[in-house]
Structure 1
Amino acid sequence: MSETGDSAPDFTAPLANGDVDSFTLSERLEEEAPIVLAFFPAAFTGVCTDEMCTFQSRLAEFENVNASVYGVSRDSPFTLNEFRDQNDLEFGLISDFNAEIITDYGIEMDFEDLGVYGVAKRSVFVVDDSGEIVYSWVSDDPGVEPEYVEVEAAAEDAA
């Protein structure tokens, strides 16, 4: 599992931003660091919607320290664009449809009783301009949201 002090695994994936573009972490770090990667199990579910909407309501705090926020899930980019639209999210959502990023970060989880496998544990990583993870939070309980103030402080420290 990726932890504070590790180099963030680089990746390229579809970005749902109203359209569908390509997102490469290492390229974005050159212009947008620090970057907050907020992994969530699935769009259109209760806690995930609450979490992404909370990041939206706090987006100004991240922008004030020049940090960029991105949500990441296994949903398709088309599903994520609809999720963005329905929740008025202004930040991009990264589609890890093939679970490659989730695997690289070591944050896979299953909902065996539902027959759902290989989704992201609710996790947050703050990555600085050198590609180092300066903050990590991973929950084994999908019903728990991150401490947003801690995430904001880590982004500010990395700015």
Structure 2
Amino acid sequence: MVDVGDDAPTFSAPMTTPSGDIEEFSLADATDDGPVVLAFFPGAFTSVCASEMTTFRDRLDDLTDAGASLYGVSVDSPFALEEFATQNNLNFPLVSDIAKEVIDAYDVSMDFDALGVEGVAKRAVFVVDADGTVTYEWVSDDPGIEPDYEDVEAAVGDA
């Protein structure tokens, strides 16, 4: 498990931008601009994930005012994430971990055995400071639980 104080696992993956473009995301490049919030979610087009991502959308100014960048992360394809972002008017990029390497690196992979679904992201949030150090981590084994958004905002202010 990745804990506070650890070096954040670096990675590159496809990302859909708010303008609908698909680009390459690099955590190392993103942290050059300041703290990064990685908000892992199990799957696009699900009710709790849409609620979480739209709540982050509505609170994005608080994160950016603190100098942070926000990225949603799931194992959905970049094309599915592009449509999910469009349908939910998301104003921040979504990273596609379709290869499931990022959820493995952050140890936030889970299975829905009853549904026969393997290897989706747990609902989790990590704040990574400009030095690449994890300054906040929250991981839930219950995909129905959303993070405490005020805690995330406070962690960004401390990063």
Give the TM-score normalised by structure 2: 0.98
* Structure 2 counterparts to residues 94-109 of structure 1, below 5 A: 94-109=95-110
Structure-2 separation of matches of 1:99 and 1:8: 16
Provide Cα deviations, 1:101-135, integer angstroms capped at 9, x if missing partner.
Answer: 00000111000111100101000000000000000
Asked if 1:65 corresponds to 2:62, the answer is no
* CA drift at 1:3: 1.0
Give the TM-score normalised by structure 1: 0.98
* CA drift at 1:56: 0.3
Asked if 1:131 corresponds to 2:132, the answer is yes
Q: Secondary structure at the match of 2:32?
A: helix
Cα RMSD after superposing both structures:
0.5
* CA drift at 1:96: 0.0
Structure-2 separation of matches of 1:80 and 1:86: 10
1:26 maps to amino acid: A
Aligned residues: 157
Asked if 1:148 corresponds to 2:149, the answer is yes
* CA drift at 1:79: 0.3
Structure-1 separation of matches of 2:145 and 2:110: 14
2:14 maps to amino acid: P
Gaps of 5+ in 1: none
Q: Secondary structure at the match of 2:49?
A: helix
Which residue pairs with 1:21 in the alignment? 23
* CA drift at 1:26: 0.5
Which residue pairs with 1:116 in the alignment? 117
Structure-1 separation of matches of 2:32 and 2:149: 24
Gaps of 5+ in 2: none
Percentage of identical aligned residues: 55
